[in-house]
Amino acid sequence: MMKHFIALVLLLFSFLGVHCQEVIPFPNHYEQREGVSIVPKVITVSAQSGEFGSLIPGFVETLENFSLRAKKTEKKGWIQLVRNAVCHNPEEYRLTVSPAGILIEAGCANGCFYGLQSAFQLINSAGAGGSIPCAVIRDVPRYGWRGLMLDESRHFIGKAEVKKLLDLMALHKLNKFHWHLTDSQGWRIEIKRYPLLTSVGATGNLTDPDAPAQYYTRDEIAEIVQYAADRFIEVIPEIDMPGHATAAVKAYPEFSGGGSKQYPNFTFNPGKEGTYTFLTDILKEITALFPSKYIHIGGDEVHFGNEQWNRLPEIGDLMKRERLSDLVAVEHYFLNRMSDSIRILNKTVIGWDEVVTAGLPVSNTVVMWWRQERPEQLEKAISKSYEIVLCPRLPLYLDFVQHPSHKYGRKWSKGEYAPMEKVYHFPGMSYTSGISVDTPLIKGIQGNVWTEVIHTPERLQFMVYPRMSALAEAAWTQDRLKNYENFNMRMEKMMEIFKKYGIVFFDYKNPDSTPEVAGPERR
């Protein structure tokens, strides 16, 4: 019955020609005009500037993958890309559909690229010979930071799937790929100066401690950074410290600060000068590999495994010398030392919300608020004027299950999980314990994909899609224009796109039709 109703509404919308209804994330301004444009059998695309012209081959390839014929032309195309000074925000674009075709105007290549993503969805929905209603879209994102984080330490997912993720992020106008490359279960990035980090530190994963080394070489990192840049996605590396360091100190035990019973060798050693040299050398190589102005240094959950700091004489000496009263002060000392190194490398620090009390410089630090049960961390970050990215576990950790029937994946206390609808409505006040996030300090939002319960590309896809679409609309579209029912209708086309990409996604409207892709079984 419900299905028939939705089909009827969809039919009505297509009859009215409201094809803007096909775009995800929903544009921030849409005006329908008289008439329609018929999608030609061969879609020609032209650009006024070389920079915009360089976007055409990728666009043509995407259309062809969707069985639409397209080619670049030096004459005026059915799609024209025009540089126009009206755009003040680099990501802004204007898209005009007229009987003659589609005009995309932007001030910068980012905006033009996003105009093409919207055009792709309009054209794909109409099909060759189909009609698109005449309209003007003027679009600019709600947030400048529209991120997705992938943890490749717990389980290594690999280059092919990362590229697919970047393709889909680009289609959704997501622009930050936060890459969690190191953690206790594996160090996943080649560092020339310290080869044991990969030959020893990259062996094993969460389910198989004996798995052969898996990591990205420097060339592969460069390849992925370029692949992302071609899609206007910035890659932000995370090198987690001083906790979550087990894999690194397995390779270089001289820098271990020990751990606790449950988390042995969990930390770096903040009492040794050599630790700072070691980590700064690593960050120098990271700086050379990643053009992003940010380096994420983690800073989370140090208390899980810093018990042994109490017993290390060099830490006792450090506490005396620097007048540090307790282990939290030691942790903050460490974070400040690393923050200084990063500032000298001309980069900005990002840290998880534990860092808000560390006294890091406000002008050079971004805080990621992740603990929804600790709203005071968000409050402190705002009151200290830190820039903030919102990524609370609930609802933005995509390793939490998305349906109550799902057996694998995380749930919070009382069985709370992260369904599509909650992701979509983020960041409403109910998610922030009433703290207003209506401040320019909020740079944006991010979904995080931890991989303790994700071990294969198929399982990753099942957890990421379709929630990526809800995340994208939450990040791009102004609250007053968001409408979950309307979004659900637009998801029909998006799910067809997922199918074309060969993605194993969760059909959230028909939960019984998609069996859960199983998570890892612990050995």
Q: Considering only CA atoms, which of 411, 261, 286 is closest in space to residue 341?
A: 286
- If the CB atoms of residues 163 and 303 are measured against ligand ACM, the closer one turns out to be 303
Tokens at 294, concatenated: 């940010």
- Cβ proximity of 170 and 117 under 8 Å: yes
| C-beta nearest to ligand ACM: residue | 300
E strand or H helix at 101? strand 101-106
Q: Which of 276, 370, 417, 424 is close enough to bind ligand ACM by CB under 6 A?
A: 370
CA torsion sign, 363 to 221 to 171 to 402?
A: negative
Give 215 or 397: the residue with its C-beta nearer to ligand ACM: 397
Q: Is 382 or 449 the residue whose CB approaches ligand ACM more closely? A: 449
Q: Check 19, 155, 244, 332 and give the catalytic one.
A: 244
Residue 301 contacts ligand ACM per CB under 6 A: yes
Closest distance to ligand ACM from the beta carbon of 124 (Å): 36
Least separation in angstroms between residue 275's CB and ligand ACM is: 21
Give the other-Cβ count within 10 Å of 50's Cβ: 7
Cα 456-458-460 angle, rounded to 5 deg? 70
Are the CB atoms for 260 and 308 separated by under 8 Å? yes
CA pair distance 336, 324, nearest whole angstrom = 13
Q: Active site includes 301?
A: yes
Q: Can you tell me whether residue 83 is helix, strand or coil?
A: strand
Smallest distance, Å, CB 17 to ligand ACM?
45
Is residue 402 classed as helix, strand or coil in its secondary structure? coil
At its nearest, how many Å lie between ligand ACM and the CB of residue 352? 4
* Residue 183 is among the residues annotated as catalytic for this protein: yes
Q: How far apart are alpha carbons 71 and 50 in whole angstroms?
A: 16
Site string for ligand ACM, 199-228 (x = CB under 6 A): ------------------------------
Catalytic residue among 91, 152, 183, 516: 183
Task: Read off the tokens for 186.
Answer: 């594996």
Shortest distance (Å) from residue 180 CB to ligand ACM = 9
What is the 8-class DSSP label of residue 295?
Answer: E
266 binds ligand ACM (CB under 6 A): no
- Taking a C-beta distance cutoff of 8 angstroms, is the pair 224, 163 a contact? yes
Q: Put residue 346 in one of left, alpha, beta given phi > 0 → left and psi -120 to 50 → alpha.
A: left
Does the footprint of ligand ACM cover residue 300 (CB under 6 A)?
Answer: yes
Q: Residue 61: name the closest of 143, 135, 127, 120 by CA.
A: 120
Q: d(Cα 244, Cα 477) in Å, to the nearest integer?
A: 35
Task: Work out the burial of residue 159: count CB atoms within 10 Å of its CB; fewer than 13 is exposed, 13-18 middle, 19 or more buried.
Answer: middle
**Nearer of residues 46 and 184 to ligand ACM, judged by Cβ:** 184
Write each residue from 97 to 136 as x if it is in contact with ligand ACM (CB under 6 A), else as -, in one continuous string: ----------------------------------------
Q: How far is the CB of 450 from ligand ACM (least distance, A)?
A: 6
Among residues 220, 301, 307, 421, which one is catalytic? 301
Q: Is 244 a catalytic residue?
A: yes
Quote the DSSP letter at residue 164.
Answer: H
CB of 431 to ligand ACM, least distance (A): 16
Output 301 or 307, the one with its CB closest to ligand ACM: 301
* Binding footprint of ligand ACM, residue count (CB under 6 A): 4
Q: Which is nearer to ligand ACM, 416 or 507 (CB)?
A: 416
Between 60 and 389, CB nearer to ligand ACM: 389
| 352 makes contact with ligand ACM (CB under 6 A) | yes
DSSP state of 90: T
* Binding map of ligand ACM across residues 435-474, x = CB under 6 A, - = no contact: ----------------------------------------
Q: Which of 140, 133, 168, 169 is nearest to 22 (CA)?
A: 133
Q: Tokens 């053009």 map to which residue?
A: 291
Nearer to ligand ACM, 154 or 455 (CB): 154
- Nearest distance, CB of residue 333 and ligand ACM, angstroms: 21
Residue 234 is a binding residue for ligand ACM (CB under 6 A): no
Decide: helix, strand or coil at residue 365. Answer: strand
Residues near ligand ACM (CB under 6 A): 300-301, 352, 370
Active site residues: 183, 244, 301
